[in-house]
Amino acid sequence: MSEENPIDVPVITALLVLLLALWSELVSWWLVAVPAAFTVGYAVIVLLSTARSSGGETSGFGPAIPGWLLVSAPLACLGLVWLLTERAVSARSAGATVLIAVASVQFLASLRGGRAYTLLFDRRRVSWWALGWIAAGVGVLGSALVLANGSVFKMAFFFGFLLFALFLWFVVPMAAVQSRRTADAAAAESPYPSVSVIIPAYNEETCIGQCIESVLETTYPNDLLEIVVVDDGSTDDTYATASQYRDFGVEVYHKENGGKYSALNYGLFCSSGDIVVCVDADGCLASDALLNVVGAFQRDSNVGAVAGNVKVGNRTRHLTRLQALEYLVGINTYRRAFSWFGAVPVVPGCLSGFRREALERVDGYDPDTITEDFDVTLKILKDGWTVRQSDATVWTEAPFTLRDLYTQRRRWFTGSAETILKHCDVLIDGTSGNLHRVSYPFSLFRVFLAPLVLTPIYAVVVAALITRPYETALVILVLGFIVAFVYSLLVVRMDHDSPWIVLYAPLYVIGYKQFRECVLVLSLLGVLVFRSERTWGSVRRQGTLNTTILDTE
């Protein structure tokens, strides 16, 4: 941390804890105590498990259970909890609830047939960790139902605070610790490995030149650097623009349009470096980015992939500034936290580094999801490698219109849902270590369960602001804004970003997040109900990254 700024990360973290404690004075004690106890207990258990088994080899042992039992047991438990809240528990009602849960699952599996039938009737060895997740979830839900005594507002606040607790008391501390570790880590040292930078491009004529120039201007040794641009059937002048850099040693290839995964695999085939770095065509690398990526591989031979630190470079509009805050608050923080466990779930397409051996062992990129970066990361983690976050900065051009932002996020969320469903075996297979214990459950919750929790919370909060005493509602709202503001300041300090971006925290909490949740719900409907279209989903580019911001890094 810089000496000229006395505000340090531990100070802001302590302030967050005090603010949440003050918040707890406005509501019943159990609304804060139960989520806090769950979060602290989970943190202790996962840290102890990680310390005892770095690779997760022993976490896969557990009972062999048929799939239908795994699905019907939580449903039966929820039914029993509901009977408990209605004070209607008896031997007959309990037995009927269990039978209904089992019969409904088996009926739906038989009706659906195919893969669903196979998954539900095959016996699978389930890790004790997964069984613990199920038991803890049912216990927390049961406690909330009993203690809330039928109050919808209390239930909504309970789950809202549970989200706060998991994020602020587990994710944020892990991110803060990892941020300090990463800052103290050294960049790459001689002897340097050979590096191949692959830039897939589709209709990126406005920004491909700036991207190539940023790679050429990095401080990595030129004799060990290979730059490969793959034009995936662009209909504009992307190929012609990129070809102008052939005199600087840049290899430029043109192929028929086949999707981003196809362009990346083509570039992998045409390159030869020991380390493969993939960069989006709208990105600009910091001068030390490649050294930071390679340094992460040199420090640990078990690292198979490294995530870059993505920042928004075109902060010229309110919408792009909100996205800049989103990257800091909602994306990079999670990656830092999971990097502590060596299980970052997504290495971003903007800047991702791979050990060639790891990428080739999982057969590169697959065509069955539209978020190939998420998919290939999970494949590498399942193969036994670790994945880390680095301080290698890449500046990206964020969508500058609401329509383009919707298009981009619709693609992100659709692909995330597809990828999570594709790798659902991770949830019960403990051999994947911290991916099974930490990263995958959080990803599953953020994509599939968060909308179910947040939608009623928003409705209840709005109703509370209308019906509850004005003074109490105002205090809760103001305190919520203060928590968001202080947390944003904490993240900005960890990322050494501009403190002015914190001023957008209130608008991010009320307005921007609700927009994201709506897009997420629509994306889930597209995956689960309708057939989603798999395309590049490119948005309009201006090619005007703020070079003033870039130069300050």
pLDDT digits (tens, 9 = 90+) for 408-429: 999 999 999 999 999 988 887 7
Task: Give phi and psi for 63, each to the nearest 5.
Answer: -70, 150
- Domain membership of residue 124 (yes or no) is no
Structure-token pair, residue 322? 């909100």
State whether the Cα torsion 368-279-331-51 is positive or negative.
Answer: positive
- Domain membership of residue 480 (yes or no) is yes
Pairing mode, strands 275-279 and 351-355: antiparallel
pLDDT at 4 over 50: no
Mean of the per-residue pLDDT values of the chain? 82
Measure the CA–CA gap between 460 and 153, rounded to whole angstroms. Answer: 6
pLDDT at 340 over 70: yes
Cβ atoms within 10 A of the Cβ of 301, count?
Answer: 9
Look at phi and psi of residue 401 and say left if phi exceeds 0, alpha if psi is from -120 to 50, else beta: beta
Mean pLDDT of the 16-42 span: 70
First-residue to last-residue Cα distance in the chain: 15
Measure the CA–CA gap between 194 and 188, rounded to whole angstroms. Answer: 12
- Domain membership of residue 28 (yes or no) is no
**Better-scored residue on pLDDT, 42 or 407:** 407
pLDDT tens digits, residue range 526-537? Answer: 887 766 555 555
Measure the CA–CA gap between 202 and 230, rounded to whole angstroms. Answer: 9
- Domain membership of residue 23 (yes or no) is no
- Domain membership of residue 101 (yes or no) is no
pLDDT tens digits, residue range 35-70? Answer: 777 777 777 777 777 765 544 444 455 566 666 676
- Domain membership of residue 391 (yes or no) is yes
Nearest to 392 by CA among 337, 350, 439: 350
- Domain membership of residue 281 (yes or no) is no
The count of domains in the chain is 1
Mean pLDDT of the 12-29 span: 65
Report helix, strand or coil for 311.
strand
Measure the CA–CA gap between 331 and 320, rounded to whole angstroms. Answer: 15
pLDDT bin (cut points 50, 70, 90) of residue 30 is: confident
Longest pairwise C-alpha distance within the chain: 81
Measure the CA–CA gap between 32 and 38, rounded to whole angstroms. Answer: 10
Report the pLDDT value the prediction gives residue 3, as an integer from 0 to 100: 40
Report the pLDDT value the prediction gives residue 510, as an integer from 0 to 100: 86
pLDDT bin (cut points 50, 70, 90) of residue 519 is: very high
State the residue range of the domain holding 318: 153-184+300-552
Measure the CA–CA gap between 104 and 139, rounded to whole angstroms. Answer: 23
Start-end of H helices in 149-270: 152-166, 172-184, 208-216, 238-243, 260-270
pLDDT at 348 over 80: yes
DSSP secondary structure letter of residue 343? B
Report the pLDDT value the prediction gives residue 11, as an integer from 0 to 100: 65
- Domain membership of residue 18 (yes or no) is no
**Better-scored residue on pLDDT, 323 or 7:** 323
